[in-house]
A = this chain, B = another copy of it.
Amino acid sequence: MITLASDFGSPYPAAMRGVICRRSGARLVDVTHDLPRGAVRESAFWLRETLPTFPPATHLAVVDPGVGTDRGVLVGRANGHAFVGPDNGLLVPAARRIADDDGVDWFHADPGDPASSTFHGRDVFAPLAATVHDVVRSRGIGALDAHERLSPADPTTVDLPEATVEAGDASGEVLAVDDFGNVVTNVPGTFLDGRETVTVNGDRVPVVETFASVAPGDPLVTVGSHGYVECDVNRGRGDERFGLGAGDAVRIA
């Protein structure tokens, strides 16, 4: 199985699917092609939250504002999964979470001589994912060590910081805003234990377990599905209500 993720929208993902189908019989499963455009850190967050739900697979992901520069081409291996994408940090948090206590083995891949300098999803990463998938399938994931196009590498990383929690006061930031407008912070959900209300940057809001605990249009704070504190609105947009976007500082007390 090859999973596909990108910020390409439409129709460019089709060319990646076509290239892979031409080279491999692998099953294709789309993760999403609506990752936040050019936003490597937020996209890394979403991949970390979704790729671990899959069984061992080759995960192809492309959010690549440095396409055509000398940024490297990265292949990773952890816990039976393989990873293929640009060496800009995009896949590192996902691979580390899948690795759990084991480490991740990282490689740089020879990019070859791509047909374009602007669409490495089609010209570099999709064919490489087909190759990696077929190597893993035919010879086992250990065979990546011996592949002539791969050499050991230290990957570029991205920073998905942890919040600081002190004496009932949490200082963190917004990791991502989802499609519903829910504001996902990096404050651990356990911070809400035993609280009935909190302030979010000074704004007092009820702490609840479900969206439906407040009236439609009303704000709430809850433990989201990622295990972090989320600032949401029942059937509305938390990002607009709280004036928060990815990367913004948030203080919860």
Contact = CB atoms under 8 A, between A and B. Distances in A.
Interface residues of A, number: 61
A66 B178 CA distance: 19
B117 A210 contact: yes
A230 B117 CA distance: 12
A240 B10 CA distance: 19
A13 B11 CA distance: 15
Interface of A: 1, 3, 5, 8-15, 17-19, 21-22, 28-35, 37-38, 46, 49-55, 57, 65-69, 115-119, 122-123, 178-180, 209-212, 222-225, 227, 230, 235
Contacts of A37: 180
B67 A211 contact: yes
A133 to B, nearest CB: 15
Given A21-B1, A122-B53, A210 B68 contact: yes
Kindly list the 5 A-B residue pairs having the minimum CB-CB distance in the complex, ordered from nearest. Answer: A18-B53, A68-B210, A119-B225, A9-B179, A11-B32
B38 A29 contact: no
Q: Which of A38, A178, A211 is most buried by chain B, counting CB atoms within 10 A of its CB? A: A211
A194 B235 CA distance: 44
A28 B17 CA distance: 11
Contacts of A209: 68, 117
Contacts of A54: 17-18, 21-22
A11 B35 contact: yes
Given A11-B179, A12-B178, 13 more contacts: A5-B11, A9-B34, A11-B32, A12-B179, A14-B53, A17-B53, A18-B55, A22-B55, A38-B235, A66-B210, A68-B209, A116-B227, A118-B230
Contacts of A34: 9-11
A35 B179 CA distance: 13
B212 A66 contact: yes
A53 B130 CA distance: 14
Contacts of A19: 53
A46 B212 contact: no
A12 B33 CA distance: 12
Contacts of A52: 18
Given A50-B15, A225-B118, A10 B32 contact: yes
A8 B179 contact: yes
Nearest to A37: B180
